[in-house]
Structure 1
Amino acid sequence: MNDPQETDRPMKNAMLRGWRRRCPSCGSGPMLSGYLKVRDNCPVCGEELHHHRADDGPAYLTILIVGHLMAPMLMWAFVKFQPDPWILTTVFSVGCVTLSLYLLPRLKGVLVAIQWAKRMHGFGLAANG
């Protein structure tokens, strides 16, 4: 028999909810109380979220994605348009910072949601999960 505490929760729904920075359990309550601070509990369903261990994962993934997107674009812009170095540096610096600020809280939400779906780090012990 499958114990409900041992089975995984729906990963795709949890990840989509995490990307939207919503509670992975109900999808309604906000997961974050600030830019990157994860709430202790969901204000809507009461799911405990303090178990997460996202640590440096979101920052690592953000750097990985931004670097892989911006480096080829930088090379393409340099070869195609041959702009002054200060223009290229300014434009791509702003682009990198903007993309990083956009991705970081969303990737943190996704990592917390994955941990919730896989019942990692104490998420499987919650009474309402």
Structure 2
Amino acid sequence: MSLSPEANRPSAVGYDLPASLFAAMLRGVRHRCPRCGEGKLFRRWLKPVDTCSACSLDISGQRADDLPAYIGIFVTGHLLAPVIIALVTKWELGAVALLAIIIPLAIVMLVALLQPSKGAVIGLQWWNGMHGFRKERLSEGDGAER
């Protein structure tokens, strides 16, 4: 017995697919499943769940590797550069005082950005059908998966 095409529709299976890459990545940033937006993405700080509790998406194949760390370093560096310039030029801080301010601030920013970055990378991988994910999209007009 084969399933009808309606069985593949997101509304028939109980979840709504994201409309864009940005929406899928935003779900990951919010620590939610990129496909349904309901289930939790992480069971521990950086350890993703094996399957989504809401839509049963197999997340175990994701390979974020070092990209979340690179994203965190890139964002932190760009946000801290004006702060460093201001501290050096306006307040003329010495090297020790500058390091005492910048190093803890950089560590806090990197740690805070790591999990949302990993969620966004998992959302990106899911959207593009990479690393064991199946490419699922809403087709225009009828709302069916593709």
**TM-score of the alignment, normalized to the shorter chain, above 0.5:** yes
The 3-state SS of whatever aligns with 1:101 is helix
**For each residue in 1:6-56, what CA deviation from the matched residue of structure 2 results, as whole angstroms up to 9, or x when unmatched?**
xx9731211110111111011111101111111110122211111211111
Tell me what 1:22 maps to: 32
SS of residue paired to 2:134: helix
Residues 62, 75 of structure 1: alpha-carbon distance in 2 compared, 3 angstrom cutoff: same
Offset, 1:87? 2.3
1:117 pairs with one of 127, 139, 142: 127
Following superposition, which runs of at least 4 residues in structure 1 exceed 4 angstroms of deviation?
A: none
User: C-alpha separation between the residues in 2 aligned to 1:125 and 1:116?
Assistant: 7
Q: From the CA coordinates, give the structure whose radius of gyration is larger.
A: 2
Instruction: Tell me the number of residue pairs that the alignment of Structure 1 and Structure 2 aligns.
Output: 122
Measured after TM superposition, the shift of residue 83 of structure 1 is 2.3
Q: Is the 8 A contact 1:9 1:118 kept in 2?
A: no
Superposed counterparts of 1:28-43, under 5 Å:
28-43=38-53
Residue 34 of structure 2 contacts residue 126 of structure 2 at CA under 8 Å; is this kept in 1? yes
Calculate the TM-score normalised by the size of structure 1: 0.84
Give the equivalent residue in structure 2 for 1:85.
95
2:76 pairs with 1:66: yes
Highest RCO, 1 vs 2 (Cα 8 Å, sep ≥ 6) = 1
In 2, the alpha carbon distance for the partners of 1:105 and 1:124 equals 23
